Amino acid sequence: MTPHINAKPTDIAKVVLMPGDSLRAKAIAEKYLTDYKLVNEVRNMFMYTGKYQDIEITIAGSGMGCPSIGIYSYELFKFYDVDYIIRIGSAGSYKSEFELYDIFNVREAFGESNYAKIAANIDSHLIPSSEKLFNTIEDVALKQGIKTHTGTAYAADVFYRYDESLSFTKEHNLDVVEMESYALFANAIVTKKQAATLLTISDNLVTKQAASAMERQNNFMVMVQLALTTEVQLMK
């Protein structure tokens, strides 16, 4: 147990799927897992462990932003000996050619904060995803006929930015924006574990296309199934 997770060590699987929203974690567990049980509810950050294709998997909410996923992913890696975490979430696109519901496999995360330096002694604004996990996602997607985009995700600390963001993203060659991967990847490196991020494009900041909350919920399942199948592949 930790200050933020009251699960027993045996309650958490070696592979974790991590959406930001606890209610989305609940919905995924109900839809895809068998024999699942709620193993954490501290601060209403729900975590569920069950079976998918006979492989034990934990679905765990992360909350929003690097500080939140930083706490939960570090504790899962360090104190629950989790080997793999795949973050799943939504992203805004800085590329006009990315359409709604396209899937983006993050190759590296760009962050402006000092999180990586303070938490992992990594003095860089760019942190790569774990090569093995990234490549496994790409292999599974290819076999399943799922098209993925790859590139750099901006793990923004501020949702409502003061200045105009598109010029900033062009300067740093950023493809999409989300809020968590920079901390997740730093924690994987410092704990010598594996992390990746899969994102579904929910809005395009160039073309101004945007999905509703209900549309996001209903159209993210291809990404979820890709992540689940990847975790099964890792455990075989």
Write out the DSSP string of 88-146: EEEEEES-TTPPTT-EEEEEEEE--SSHHHHHH----SEEEPPHHHHHHHHHHHHHHT-
Mind listing the pLDDT tens digit for each residue in 188-222?
999 999 999 999 999 999 999 988 877 776 779 99
For the four alpha carbons of 122, 123, 128 and 131, in that order, the dihedral sign comes to: negative
pTM for this model (two decimals): 0.96
Q: Please provide the average confidence, as pLDDT, over all residues in the chain.
A: 95
- The rounded distance, in Å, linking the Cα atoms of 187 and 171 is 26
When pLDDT is cut at 50, 70 and 90, the band that residue 163 belongs to is: confident
pLDDT, position 59: 98
Mind listing the pLDDT tens digit for each residue in 20-59?
999 999 999 999 999 999 999 999 999 999 999 999 999 9
pLDDT, position 139: 98
Averaged over 164-187, what is the pLDDT? 92
pLDDT at 131 over 80: yes
**In CATH, what number does 15-235 get?**
3.40.50.1580
pLDDT, position 212: 81
On whether the CB atoms of residues 54 and 95 are closer than 8 A, the answer is no
Q: Which two tokens stand for residue 5?
A: 């997770």
pLDDT, position 167: 83
Catalytic residues: 203
Provide, rounded to the nearest whole percent, the portion of the chain with pLDDT above 90: 89
